[in-house]
Amino acid sequence: MTITKPEEHTGLADPPEPDVKAGVVDLLERSGSVVVPIGIALYALLYLGIQQVYGIFNISPEQAGIDQATMFGRLVGTLILLIIGGALVAGIVVAAVWLLDKATLGHLFRLAQAVRVRPWAAATAGALWCGASYWGFLGYLGLGEGASLAGIVITAVVIGALAFLVPFRLLRRRPAGRAGMKIVVAAFTGIGLGFALMGQMESDALAVAEKGRPASMLLSMVGFQDQWVVLNDRESGKVLRGGVQVLLLGEREGAYALYDCAHQETFRISMEATVLRQVTLEPDRPSGYSCLKQKN
């Protein structure tokens, strides 16, 4: 009698198809480890930037009637606009790198792979990038004015070598360390960009406060109100402040917060006793305009 053995599993069956959901989750994790640190750093520094902008006019955002919910909405809108612009720049850079790789017959991709698998090379690249991100902070402190390209490169190399090279090399030993290094590099990228934007916001606000120049696009993006008015007394109809235009910073608790550029003075005035006339949003200023001329 012949006994037929059941068919044994040989392991030659077709491999299961890759899980699409797992691939999507992995993509989100990889992109989130870069986007989230950049976004958090940018949000924090833009928040400080708004505080500094209103500080130039000697008030806080809360005194201008801007509460935390309003500020959160404005900053989220600013981040969305930065993401839209950053996506355009990133797409152009990726296309340029792809074309360069094709032009070099794949040598650029192989060079990038060689750098990635060598711990010291990858650590050096990350350290130089983080060192370069410090330039935004140094520029905010006013230490980078008039510096040449060679000075920027030397500063990035020195900061990167002293502060980041050895720690990054130690992080490259394990997968968790490599992921941590990516998060640190992304965070410092956001910090460097945030300090650069913060410094530009302060510079633009100073131009508004000292000369009455129109608010820049960056100030408009973060929600700064470039609105100028002429004040009249409600009871007598008399023009106040000599009829000069003043900047309306906001309103709170029944009073307007205003800035008189001609006298370089911030003041509050009752809403019930004041009428706003000649309200102008983002006025057109001639070249060389200065609000100090109104005082004369």
Segment 199-239, tens digit of pLDDT: 889 999 998 988 888 888 889 888 888 899 999 988 888 88
Q: Which pLDDT score is estimated for 92?
A: 94
Task: Output the CA–CA distances (angstroms, integers) from residue 273 to 232, 238, 268, in the order listed.
Answer: 9, 11, 12
**Can you read off the two tokens belonging to residue 187?**
């965070």
d(CA 234, CA 217): 34
Do β-strands 255-260 and 265-270 pair in parallel, antiparallel, or remain unpaired? antiparallel
What three-state secondary structure class fits 79?
helix
Task: Output the CA–CA distances (angstroms, integers) from residue 272 to 250, 253, 255, in the order listed.
Answer: 15, 11, 8
Q: Which pLDDT score is estimated for 88?
A: 92
d(CA 259, CA 139): 28
User: Is the predicted pLDDT of residue 258 greater than 90, yes or no?
Assistant: yes
User: Is the predicted pLDDT of residue 72 greater than 80, yes or no?
Assistant: yes
Do β-strands 255-260 and 274-281 pair in parallel, antiparallel, or remain unpaired? unpaired
> Poorest-confidence range of 11-15, 23-27, 263-267?
11-15
> Poorest-confidence range of 1-10, 37-46, 65-74, 211-220?
1-10
pLDDT > 90 in the chain, percent: 22
Q: What is the DSSP letter of 271?
A: S
What three-state secondary structure class fits 77?
helix
Q: Which pLDDT score is estimated for 3?
A: 54
| Mean pLDDT (whole number) for 112-126 | 86
Single-letter amino acid, residue 13: A
Residues 268 and 255 sit within 8 Å (Cβ to Cβ): yes
d(CA 86, CA 102): 24
pTM for this entry: 0.79
**Can you read off the two tokens belonging to residue 94?**
């990726």
What three-state secondary structure class fits 244?
coil
| Mean pLDDT (whole number) for 28-47 | 86
| Mean pLDDT (whole number) for 256-267 | 90
d(CA 132, CA 188): 9
Per the prediction, the chain carries an average pLDDT of 83
Helices (H), the chain: 20-56, 68-103, 107-117, 119-140, 149-163, 165-171, 175-211, 217-221, 292-295
Q: Which pLDDT score is estimated for 93?
A: 92
d(CA 258, CA 166): 52
| Mean pLDDT (whole number) for 144-171 | 81
**What domains sit in the chain, N to C, each tagged with a CATH number?**
23-211 (no CATH), 225-295 (2.30.30)
Q: Which pLDDT score is estimated for 293?
A: 62
176-187: buried (b, 16+ CB within 10 Å) or exposed (e) per residue?
A: ebbeebbebbbb
User: Is the predicted pLDDT of residue 252 greater than 60, yes or no?
Assistant: yes
pLDDT > 70 in the chain, percent: 88
> Poorest-confidence range of 97-106, 236-245, 256-265, 280-289?
280-289
Q: Which pLDDT score is estimated for 257?
A: 92
Q: Which pLDDT score is estimated for 132?
A: 85
